[in-house]
Amino acid sequence: MIAIIDYGMGNIHSVNKALEFYGAKTIITNKPSEIKECVKVVLPGVGAFDDAVSELEKQGLIPALKEHIKNKKIFLGICLGMQLLFEESREAKIKKGTGILKGRVEKFRNSKELKVPHIGWNQLNKTSDNCPLLKDIPDNAYVYFCHSYYSKPKDDSIIAATCNYGSDFTAVVWQDNIYGMQFHPEKSQGIGLKMLENFVNLKC
């Protein structure tokens, strides 16, 4: 069973439909007790960092997510859901991140050449040949982004793919049972759906 976390900050229904298409049994939930029973968790996210952390705290979800990861169960963060894995964000005025991964979230610099937010299709540069999420994904494949902030891990070895928007930024992270995508796979047509299929097929 795959738990899709509903904390009022994500595009959960599109993700759910995509996972179900590949035969996954899913549950949309904000209950720690139900998360505990699932072998995989997806944390989507759209919106502000402070608001997202506040909602996760209010619903008692952060300890449940940390326990899930500590127990070596598979976790996927999407967009803001990936950023929340890190220690802090340039966007946040009050809240810290979960600190599950070391690093911080930075903001793109607005310029005449580059508009912020970064919205639209852009190419992935695979930096890992072994990331299971990127199995059968060609280098330079296009995926769909919508974000003003990007994650900057302390350990570059967990970066599985980058993208360039003025400079290279982290597009995919992978550390053991933890995966994150800065883009929206559910909006990235065949390439994104293939990644979600790979996620469904991951073994704990």
Give the integer Cα–Cα distance in Å for 134 and 156: 17
Known active-site residue 38: no
Answer yes or no: 79 catalytic: yes
The question of whether 204 is a catalytic residue gets the answer: no
The DSSP annotation for 114-152 comes to S-SSEEEEEE-EE--S--GGGTTPPTT-EEEEEESEEEE
Contact 57, 18 (CB under 8 A): no
CA distances from 190 to 26, 80, 187 (A): 21, 22, 9
The tokens describing 91, both together, are: 């966007």
Q: Which of 68, 118, 147, 184 is catalytic?
A: 184
Catalytically annotated residue among 79, 118, 147, 197: 79
Looking at this protein, which amino acid is placed at residue 191?
A: I
Looking at 68, 131, 163, 186, which residue is catalytic?
186
Give counts: helices (H), strands (E), the chain: 6, 13
- State the catalytic residues: 79, 184, 186
